[in-house]
Amino acid sequence: IAYDSHPDGVILVTDAMSAMGLVPGNYQLGNMNVTKDEDRVYIEGTDTLAGSVITLDACIRNFIQFTNCSLIEALEAVTLHPAVLLGIEKTKGVIKPGADADLVLLSDDLFVKRVFVAGEEVDLESIDVQVTEKFQ
């Protein structure tokens, strides 16, 4: 409904908790013991949802599937629109001279392949290892 009424105002976000990216299993997140499956986190020993672990690239894929919007519209919903809302569209959410070189390269099927922060490539494998080690 929001997309149909005002597509230029749509902003996609994820409410993923810190278990995002971890393999399914049991973890302690803060003071809560949780069980993570492929796409959800439950309070351990219950069927009570503790939170989401959806990634932003999955949000993009879902948004396109659910709304039939264009790829450009979906990408603007995670880049330009949030930057405009925050008043930082001169340096964030755009690719142009003078803007920060924070970029994400997606595969043809819209999965994150490479990430650049301030023009420097981020070692994604190193981040995965650091996150996994933190919660094991």
Q: How many C-alpha atoms does 49 have within 13 Å on its Cβ side? A: 8
123 is catalytic: no
| Global pTM exceeds 0.85 | no
Choice among 4, 8, 15, 39 that is catalytic: 15
Task: Output the six-digit token pair for 43.
Answer: 């309070």
Give yes or no for a contact between 92 and 99, defined as CB atoms under 8 angstroms apart.
yes
CA distance 81 to 104: 16
3-state secondary structure of 7: helix
Helix axes 71-78, 56-67, angle to 10 degrees: 140
Amino acid at 19: A
112-125 pLDDT per residue, tens: 999 999 999 999 88
29-74 pLDDT per residue, tens: 889 899 998 888 999 999 999 988 989 999 999 999 999 999 999 9
Domain ranges of the chain: 2-16+54-135
CA distance 105 to 57: 11
